[in-house]
Amino acid sequence: MPFDEDRAARAVAFCRICIENYGRAAGASMTLLPWFEQRVIRPLYGTIRSDGTRQYRKVFVAVPKKNAKTINCGALALYMLRGDGEFSPEVFSAASDIDQASLIFDYAHAFTEYTPALDKSLRVLPSRRRIVYEDKRGVYRVLSSESKTKHGVNPHALFIDELHAHPNAELFYTLTKGSGIARRQPLFFIITTAGFDRTSICYQEWEYARKVARGEIDDPRYLSVIYETPDDADIEDPKVWASVNPALGTVFTEEDIAAECREARKSPRDEAWFRTMRLNQWTMAESRWIDRAAWMASSGELDMEWLRGRPCYGGLDLAATKDFNALALVFPSDDNGPPYRLLCEFWLPEVAAQELERRYNIPMTEWHQAGLVNITPGGIADHGAIYERILALREVYQLQEVAYDPYLAHKIVNDLSAAGMTMVKVSPAIGSMSPPSKEWERLVGLQQLWHGGNPVLAWMNDSCTIYEDINQNIKPIKPERGGAARIDGIWAGILALDRAIRHERVGPSVYEGRGILTL
């Protein structure tokens, strides 16, 4: 295919006139990094077909975090709106949620405000996340999986951000399959880092892009740019860092990444994050959270008489058939012992208990006889028994309030509220669960959350893995669907710990600087 140097240079020049307003570069023209110019912009806009249109219609760019891919796409989104010569261009940026989808828009918005050559020709509607180019009746809009207008779009250009974070393929297929067919040269531009789920649409697209890059698939309309590290690479080798991070030495330093690498060696979860976000390796989403030795080291001794009559905070996780119903009580301490002590009680339908014992050799009968698990008749959870137990515990301890996961909780919450119990709904979303989960991890590591070595809770700790998103938010999850793993007591304990921390009377909140949970 012929190469049009003028078209390539025009796109490069447009990006370079954009004025930044972030950090140390504020007030200066955008630094167009060599990797993005040479591997993305120039081939994309300079390679043309015999009819004069662009050869590439889909671009797949996979590069680790902080390599300036998003800000570059902010400039390209404006170029596709204003500089590509399309009449009535419609440009979109899309992602799994509205905040992520707005990141490209935020850069584009800033460029329009600070770049004299742009500010008169483009009108920004921030509240609607739109930029209007009235001369050519063009518009740039933000879409997400929540958008009601994502169906029926006809994009001249579509930028899909962080494809690995999309929970399913629905948004991707809706926006890319059959859309843009009325355009002369539509562009679908995907940017992402590696992820965790190898069954996802992102991994499928990544595999396709790999094969195009290797020449195994002949797709002349597809531009593939992937920076990734082999699974067996030495993660402590600066040469490995440099090979996969084209912005190293410009956006961040070798010293920065070396510090992150040292942190990564502290836990499997930290290493998985480093491999994924800094080396662009696909890793397991689920890494073991707290190992058995660390958990048991925080057992401590629980003096039941000492706990009697003391203030505590509850966490309630309910189930219907196969999972445990768990109630956790966290007691803040005012003695020379640990800051917190933890009690847990469990309920499980008889049918589920028998299956766990028969299929997986879990000692349900032994635990029931020891008073560690309440096995209730039949196959359905007895929430009435849990209701009665909570009211009884209120007579033994100063049970201040009970936090609950809203799933299946409507009736028991109404009944307990009517009985005078303060009930607090906590969203199971990762943003809500991350701060108390991180505090749970910290306290256990410091042996400051005593749990008495409860064998049921120890088994659940062994079953517990952690999911971490791109922003390093975490929450506990089961390692697989089905199987014997259960984590209900851990989940209930984290809910209870959250409430206990929020009501501490002395010292600053442990969540200062970490964000606020949404209840």
Q: Identity (one letter) of the amino acid at 17?
A: I
CB 494 within 8 A of CB 436: yes
**Region of poorest pLDDT, from 11-25, 32-46, 305-319:** 11-25
Residues 219 and 299 in one domain: no
Section 466-471 average pLDDT: 80
Q: What is the pLDDT of residues 434-453, one digit of tens each?
A: 999 999 999 999 999 999 99
CATH number for position 439: 3.30.420.240
Mean pLDDT (the chain) is 89
Rounded to an integer, the average pLDDT of 138-153 is 76
313-371 pLDDT tens trace: 999 999 988 899 999 999 999 888 899 999 999 999 999 999 998 888 789 999 999 99
- Together in a domain, 219 and 311: no
| Domain hosting residue 119, numbered range | 5-227
Q: Give the pLDDT of residue 3.
A: 94
Number of domains in the chain: 2
DSSP label at residue 197:
-
Q: Are residues 198 and 343 in the same domain?
A: no
| Residue 18, pLDDT score | 92
* Alpha-carbon gap, residue 228 to 206, rounded angstroms: 11
- CA dihedral (77, 79, 81, 85) in degrees, to 10, reads -150
Structural domain includes residue 85:
yes
Residues 167 and 304 occupy one common structural domain: no
Distance CA 55, CA 289 (A): 47
Tell whether 427 is covered by a domain.
yes
Q: Which residue has the tokens 């910290």?
A: 442
pLDDT band at residue 482 under the 50/70/90 scheme: low
43: CB partners within 8 A, 6+ apart: 8, 56, 223
- Beta strand extents in 248-353 (DSSP E only): 287-288, 311-317, 325-332, 340-349
Q: Looking at the predicted structure, is the pLDDT value of residue 183 above 50?
A: yes
Q: pLDDT-based confidence at 519, cuts 50/70/90? A: very low
Task: Note the pLDDT of residue 481.
Answer: 57
**CA 129, CA 152: separation in Å to the nearest integer?**
19
Is residue 465 assigned to a domain?
yes
Give the pLDDT score at 516: 40
Torsion angle, CA of 402/404/408/412, rounded to 10 degrees?
A: 10
Q: What pTM does this model have?
A: 0.62
Report the CATH number that the domain containing residue 75 is assigned in CATH: 3.40.50.300
Residues 306 and 418 in one domain: yes
